[in-house]
Structure 1
Amino acid sequence: MYARVVAATVTAALGMAAALLSPVSDARAGEVRVPAVIAHRGASSYAPENTLDAVDTAARLGFSWVENDVQRTKDGELVVLHDDSLQRTTNVEEVFPDRAPWKVRDFTAAEIARLDAGSWFSPAYAGARVPTLRQYMRRVEHHHQKLLLEIKNPELYPGIEQQTLKVLGNEGWLDRHHLGRLIVQSFSADSVRTVHELKPAVITGYLGTPTTPQLPQFARFTDLVNPSHGSLSQGYVTAVHAFEGPHGRPLRVFAWTVDDADTARRVAGYGVDGIITNKPDVVRAALDSD
């Protein structure tokens, strides 16, 4: 009985994953849809990146997809921050002047919680904080958004894949409903492979541009290939779509980071499935105008 329940749960989860991976552009079905628009680090041209304010701004602009970056503190807390140093996006130099180079892994979660992560962007955001992954997930859930989560610098944080999945599970994001709203990605193929092996139902993305001969290998453990827009061509996108990923659906392509209308229209013309952008409103307007 228990085995049947587990099997049914896994099957349902895979069904939700397959739904998220349903074709965005599928000429065989005679249907063409515009790519998904993903707010990079939240709506990061309009609010300080990777903060709760950036998530709120993306929601206010009407965007359901947000992207974030995850790193780990000295005492093992997962926090949402792009750089492995706190220097660029907080006032850490003022608060802790003698602790250069201010690496995330050298500070406790309590110390990071003291930092101002908004004033560098605008005085209007003074007092914004670096959120923990738990806090971030709760805000995304509040807005009923979808999340493209990047495991950042996994070589610095052994075991971060399992820890990230544990937090996601504790926050309810590995159930049947949420698996249709989650993609975990990394620049590290090993990290993506580890996530897939630990939780096969989770949709995964590889940040990079594997060569066409490498695609069958990547298709064993990743559902998306997410390259820089400058490395793309229509031929490459077509080649990626020709392979099936681990959930039995064609591999997908999310291109990054596109912030102007002309590039958005060019990349959409290649047939990509998603566009990652700091200016989601600009990209949406460009795609809607075609």
Structure 2
Amino acid sequence: MIMKNGPRHASFMWGSSTRNTRIERLWVEVGTQFARRWRAFFTRLENYHRLDPQAANHIWLLQSLFLDEINSDCLNFQAEWNCHPIRGPDTNNKSPKDLRFLGHLQFGIYRDDCEGVHPDVINEYYGVHGHTTTRQRHQTGAGHPADEEDSDSDSDGEHPSTMVQAINNQQRHQIRHEAISVPSQQNPFVDDATRQQFSATLDEVIANDITPNNCRLTLDEWHGDEYPTFETITFGRRGSKELHVSLAEPIWFNRAKLWCQALLVLSYFLTASSD
């Protein structure tokens, strides 16, 4: 499978699949290669560096500082994935990019005849091939690395009696779930001129390498005189399991320092505007 426009836009067939091993493996790699480290980093900002995830101004600041870098990481992963060799008798160790190119030469450019069609319509007319696998309520089918497997079970012993019920059960937890609440973000500045002043002030703080106080960035604020190299994130349906993610590379400390610098400048501007 070749990825287009990043992993979250990767195309796959709706409905129950008996041949979805590679898309599941893709989501495992998305998590282990870059997504979980960003999650651990934001957890660190919340635990150590005064990030308030309920503050709209803080969410805006996070997006302003790191959204481009997250997208860049996503594109880098996309490029690496599309060039990795795939084992198997039908692939001959060719990469998704190679297979796509050879497919275009042999069959022409593929046009998705289901593009824009609602999943319910696709389910109704395309159906399901092979034996249907029914997952428990906590299982997404997206795949997880071994260290993130949730072995808890809350099955009540009920099984779907019909194929339609099995499909409905699976689809309900994948695409028919209730909308996820997304933290709001709000531009804290009343006009573009004030925002430009904020950016200019932040650039000056960065250029002078100013380290804010009381942000747990300096040696005397670290436990054991060492900045922590691991951050713990929780997973599982009840958040009862933990995973230790390495943030040892200097880039993560530099990003934490940038966040604290930006938060200091933002607080100054917000205080000045309220006076």
Normalising by the residue count of structure 1, what TM-score does the alignment of the two structures yield? 0.21
**Which structure is larger by alpha-carbon Rg, 1 or 2?**
2
Which protein has the bigger helix share? 2
More strand by share: 1
